[in-house]
């Protein structure tokens, strides 16, 4: 997983802000706690001073009447609006507890809080190291060490103050005595210190206040600061990273070949300069690419021209080759025709004489009732049949060599096929499948010549299926031709021979003379059509005859 610069920057600085936020929150919390502790100390000092200076407390200690402390204690409790007062004790000068009140939750041994020896030393100057003076011109305050309740684990702050008896005479009182307005009585021997008051404050409220300050002040402020930091950071990151992202995106597009766009970064800083340089680079690249493409286009045109010329050459070559083959075939055909014509002419007359002679021989044998005439007749019939056959061959040869120019007219292919099938005797082992369409357009053909071609093909198919099979005759239409397909399931023709089957005098049959297909090809060519063959040895052969349709 890859992180972008924006995410990295945001994450890092967010973490930094978070850490700073937490650290500052902790710092503020600690400072706040210290401040609250100071406030608590001041409050405790204030409590103990007021309590020690209370006239009723003095009266209570002097008169040893604990009931007199009820009202001062109530006042003290009312001053304790934060409910921080944990305990309050009034001690006699000898350290004896005169009255003690404590909050129900304070389960500590208060005697351990204050060392009686220390208390006695409060009255002596040498132990003043325990004495602090939080306020001027007030009774001395003894501030003992803080102590911790083992049970409650709560910190208390203990404040101790001596209660001094009033000494001396006020100025107005002195004036009244001197003017005999009041009786001057020597003071009894009363100790300076009437007792001590001790106030303990619980720090539980500090934690409560701290939590309140944390929840209402520091935490929300920190959250706002952190969120604000994140927000500012997001925009800074966006401002820095967005141009870079644009540059990265543009680099990717350039890498893919897109040189049509520019990076629009107008920050005026290093990123702006980089973007400008990048744009210049794109312009240069585009110029180079355009030049290259121009050359390439020229090369492509040349290549196209070359390819076209090549194709023309190939086509010409093919035409030449076809022409050459046609010429060779024509020459062959012409030569074969000429030879056949000569042979036919030469053999026709003798065969005719043979036939006539045989006719007369046969008639004579029959008329003269010769011994064993039947045997002679049979032999003469054989000779006559062979002579007939030879005459027929000669006729065919003459027909091949003297093929007339086709007399074309619009004809129905279906009709021609059906006529042809009537002319040929189909073996019982062969099944004819006639898939010829009824609505084929008419074709321009000499029905006799084309019918002969169809006959040749059908007969060849029959001969190729000596053990039986099927012959499927179907038609189709393409462009300006009607195609007639003859598809047999015969023995097929090997690949070596298939190109030679339209050559004159080429035959694979024992009794064939190799002129049927050559004749057929010649006839179809004269009609402006085409005849093709496809064959798989052992599976069958397909002849397709394409004939020009009437437009």
Partner 1 sequence: MSFLAFFYILAHIAFILFRLPHFIITLILCLSLTVTLFADDTVVILRSQELSAYDMAIDGFVKECKLKNIDVKSIEDMRGKLTNGRKVIAKYTNSDKKPDLFLAVGVLAATLAKKSIKDTPVIFCMVVNYRRFNLSAPNITGIASEVSEEKVINIYKQAIGQLNSVGVIYDPFKTKEMIASGRKYFSAIGTELKGVGVKSSGQVKNALAKIIDDIDALWLVPDSTVISRESFRTLYNGALKKRVPILSTSDVFVKAGALIGVYPDYHNIGVEAGRMASMILGGVEFEPGYVRYPDKIDIGVNLETASKIKLKISKETYEQHHVVEFP
The contact set with partner 1 (CB under 8 A) reads 55, 58-59, 62-68, 70-71, 73-74, 77-78, 101, 166, 183, 185-188
- Assess contact for 540 and 493: CB atoms under 8 A: no
Closest alpha carbon to 489 in 546, 423, 535:
535
- Identity of the residue, 118 or 165, whose beta carbon is nearer to partner 1 in the bound complex: 165
Compute the least distance from the CB of residue 141 to partner 1, in Å.
Answer: 24
- Identity of the residue, 59 or 330, whose beta carbon is nearer to partner 1 in the bound complex: 59
Closest alpha carbon to 118 in 88, 87, 91:
91
- Identity of the residue, 94 or 349, whose beta carbon is nearer to partner 1 in the bound complex: 94
Compute the least distance from the CB of residue 77 to partner 1, in Å.
Answer: 6
- Assess contact for 396 and 332: CB atoms under 8 A: no
DSSP state of 202: E
Distance from C-alpha of 521 to C-alpha of 541, rounded to nearest angstrom: 16
- Identity of the residue, 22 or 67, whose beta carbon is nearer to partner 1 in the bound complex: 67
Cβ-defined contacts of 416-424 (< 8 Å, 24+): 416/445, 416/447, 416/450, 416/451, 416/454, 417/454, 417/473, 417/484, 419/447, 419/451, 420/451, 420/454, 420/455, 420/458, 421/458, 423/451, 423/455, 424/455, 424/458, 424/459, 424/462
- Identity of the residue, 193 or 491, whose beta carbon is nearer to partner 1 in the bound complex: 193
Compute the least distance from the CB of residue 94 to partner 1, in Å.
Answer: 17
- Identity of the residue, 31 or 71, whose beta carbon is nearer to partner 1 in the bound complex: 71
Q: Which two tokens stand for residue 373?
A: 């005439």
- Identity of the residue, 195 or 540, whose beta carbon is nearer to partner 1 in the bound complex: 195
Distance from C-alpha of 442 to C-alpha of 134, rounded to nearest angstrom: 134
Compute the least distance from the CB of residue 188 to partner 1, in Å.
Answer: 6
Compute the least distance from the CB of residue 66 to partner 1, in Å.
Answer: 7
Judge residue 243's burial from the number of C-beta atoms within 10 Å of its C-beta, 0-12 exposed, 13-18 middle, 19 or more buried: buried
Compute the least distance from the CB of residue 55 to partner 1, in Å.
Answer: 7
Compute the least distance from the CB of residue 62 to partner 1, in Å.
Answer: 7
- Assess contact for 537 and 493: CB atoms under 8 A: yes
Full DSSP string of 254-322: HHTT--S--------SHHHHHHHHHHHHHHHHHHHHHHHHHHHHHHHHHHHHHHHHHHHHHHHHHHHHH
Compute the least distance from the CB of residue 85 to partner 1, in Å.
Answer: 11
Angle between helices 5-53 and 204-213 (to 10 degrees): 140
Compute the least distance from the CB of residue 219 to partner 1, in Å.
Answer: 33
Q: How many CB atoms lie within 10 A of CB 463?
A: 15
**DSSP SS3 for 532:** strand
- Identity of the residue, 59 or 532, whose beta carbon is nearer to partner 1 in the bound complex: 59
- Identity of the residue, 63 or 302, whose beta carbon is nearer to partner 1 in the bound complex: 63
Helices (H) and strands (E) in the chain, counts: 13, 14
Q: Which two tokens stand for residue 237?
A: 């990151």
Compute the least distance from the CB of residue 74 to partner 1, in Å.
Answer: 6
DSSP state of 59: H
Full DSSP string of 340-392: HHHHHHHHHHHHHHHHHHHHHHHHHHHHTT-TTHHHHHHHHHHHHHHHHHHHH
Distance from C-alpha of 246 to C-alpha of 252, rounded to nearest angstrom: 10
- Identity of the residue, 67 or 432, whose beta carbon is nearer to partner 1 in the bound complex: 67
Compute the least distance from the CB of residue 166 to partner 1, in Å.
Answer: 6
- Identity of the residue, 194 or 453, whose beta carbon is nearer to partner 1 in the bound complex: 194
């Amino acid at each position: 997983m890859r992180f972008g610069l924006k995410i990295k920057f945001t994450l890092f600085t967010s973490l930094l802000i978070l850490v700073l936020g937490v650290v500052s929150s902790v710092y503020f919390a600690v400072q706040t706690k210290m401040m609250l502790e100071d406030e608590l100390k001041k409050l405790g000092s204030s409590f103990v001073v007021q309590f020690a200076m209370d006239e009723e407390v003095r009266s209570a200690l002097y008169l040893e009447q604990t009931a007199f402390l009820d009202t001062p204690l109530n006042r003290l409790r009312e001053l304790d609006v934060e409910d921080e007062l944990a305990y309050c004790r009034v001690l006699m000068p000898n350290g004896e507890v005169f009255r003690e009140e404590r909050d129900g939750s304070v389960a500590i041994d208060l005697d351990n809080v204050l060392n009686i020896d220390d208390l006695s030393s409060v009255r002596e100057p040498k132990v003043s190291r325990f004495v602090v003076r939080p306020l001027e011109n007030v009774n001395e305050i003894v501030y003992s060490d803080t102590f911790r309740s083992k049970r409650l684990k709560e910190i208390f702050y203990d404040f101790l103050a001596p209660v001094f008896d009033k000494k001396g005479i006020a100025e107005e009182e002195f004036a009244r005595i001197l003017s005999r307005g009041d009786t001057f009585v020597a003071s009894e021997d009363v100790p300076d210190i009437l007792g001590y008051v001790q106030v303990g404050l619980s720090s539980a409220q500090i934690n409560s206040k701290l939590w309140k300050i944390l929840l209402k002040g520091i935490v929300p402020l920190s959250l706002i600061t952190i969120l604000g930091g994140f927000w500012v950071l997001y925009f800074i990151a966006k401002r820095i990273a967005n141009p870079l992202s644009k540059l990265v995106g543009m680099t990717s597009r350039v890498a893919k070949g897109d040189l049509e766009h520019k990076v629009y970064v107008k920050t005026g800083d290093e990123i702006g300069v980089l973007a400008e340089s990048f744009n210049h680079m794109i312009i240069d690249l585009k110029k180079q690419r355009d030049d290259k493409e121009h050359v390439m286009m020229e090369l492509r045109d040349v290549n196209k021209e070359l390819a076209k010329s090549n194709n023309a050459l190939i086509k010409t070559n093919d035409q030449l080759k076809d022409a050459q083959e046609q010429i060779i075939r024509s020459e062959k055909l012409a030569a074969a025709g000429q030879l056949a014509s000569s042979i036919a002419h030469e053999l026709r007359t003798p065969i005719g004489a043979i036939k006539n002679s045989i006719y007369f021989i046969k008639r004579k044998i029959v008329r003269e009732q010769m011994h064993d005439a039947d045997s002679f007749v049979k032999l003469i019939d054989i000779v006559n049949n062979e002579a007939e056959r030879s005459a027929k061959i000669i006729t065919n040869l003459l027909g091949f060599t003297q093929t007339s120019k086709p007399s074309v007219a619009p004809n129905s292919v279906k009709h021609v096929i059906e006529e042809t099938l009537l002319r040929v005797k189909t073996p019982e082992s062969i099944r004819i499948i006639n898939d010829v369409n009824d609505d084929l357009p008419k074709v321009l053909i000499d029905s006799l010549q084309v019918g002969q071609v169809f006959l040749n093909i059908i007969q060849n198919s029959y001969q190729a299926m000596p053990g039986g099979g099927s012959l499927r005759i179907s038609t189709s239409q393409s462009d300006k031709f009607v195609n007639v397909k003859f598809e047999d399931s015969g023995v097929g023709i090997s690949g070596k021979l298939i190109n030679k089957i339209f050559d004159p005098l080429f035959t694979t049959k024992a009794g064939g003379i190799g002129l049927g297909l050559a004749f057929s090809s010649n006839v179809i060519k004269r009609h402006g059509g085409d005849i093709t063959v496809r064959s798989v040895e052992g599976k069958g052969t397909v002849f397709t005859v394409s004939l020009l349709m009437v437009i």
